[in-house]
């Protein structure tokens, strides 16, 4: 009989699914609004949001699936993926935010990112002795 997945692991999987859906919605909106984005000269442009959305979607989808299926490399993949996602999210935010109003909630963003990264890394660190099937 398979052991049930702990609630906190399900929470990590759900967060990865939400990240993946946001990436795939970004791809959809890039394609759907392509002409509008080009017409108004939105920077960095539709190609950027299309490619970055696809990468976010792929990272989140593979992370959720590998964790749900308890693959041996899943934990390390998720840890690397969320670092990449957080770094790219911050880079995107800092480079492309053009208004000072965008930085109004900067402390919240820092705290939320730190808590999420700490939660995922902490969970995997505390459960590393329980080796998954591979």
Share above pLDDT 70 across residues of the chain, in percent, rounded to a whole number: 94
Burial (CB count <10 Å: 0-12, 13-18, 19+), residue 118: exposed
For tokens 């690397």, name the residue.
80
Higher local confidence (pLDDT), 27 or 93: 27
Does the pLDDT value for residue 130 go beyond 70? no
pLDDT at 100: 79
Residues near 22 by beta carbon (within 8 Å), at least 6 away in sequence: 56, 60
pLDDT at 101: 81
pLDDT digits (tens, 9 = 90+) for 15-64: 999 999 999 999 999 999 999 989 998 888 899 999 999 999 999 999 99
Nearest to 67 by CA among 53, 56, 54, 82: 82
Does the pLDDT value for residue 111 go beyond 90? yes
pLDDT at 66: 95
pTM: 0.86
User: In whole angstroms, what is the distance from residue 134 CA to residue 131 CA?
Assistant: 9
Q: Which tokens sit at 113?
A: 């990112």
Q: At what angle are helices 74-96 and 106-126 packed, to 10 degrees?
A: 170
């Amino acid at each position: 009989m398979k052991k049930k997945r702990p609630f906190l692991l399900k929470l990590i999987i759900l967060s990865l699914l939400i990240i993946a859906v946001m990436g795939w919605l970004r791809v959809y909106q890039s394609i759907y609004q392509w002409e509008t984005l080009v017409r108004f000269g939105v920077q960095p442009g539709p190609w950027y949001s299309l490619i970055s959305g696809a990468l976010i979607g792929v990272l989140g989808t593979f992370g959720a699936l590998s964790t749900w299926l308890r693959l041996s490399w899943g934990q390390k993949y998720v840890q690397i993926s969320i670092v990449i996602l957080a770094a790219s999210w911050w880079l995107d935010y800092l480079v492309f935010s053009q208004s000072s109003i965008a930085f109004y909630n900067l402390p919240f963003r820092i705290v939320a990112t730190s808590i999420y990264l700490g939660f995922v890394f902490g969970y995997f660190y505390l459960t590393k002795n329980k080796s998954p099937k591979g």
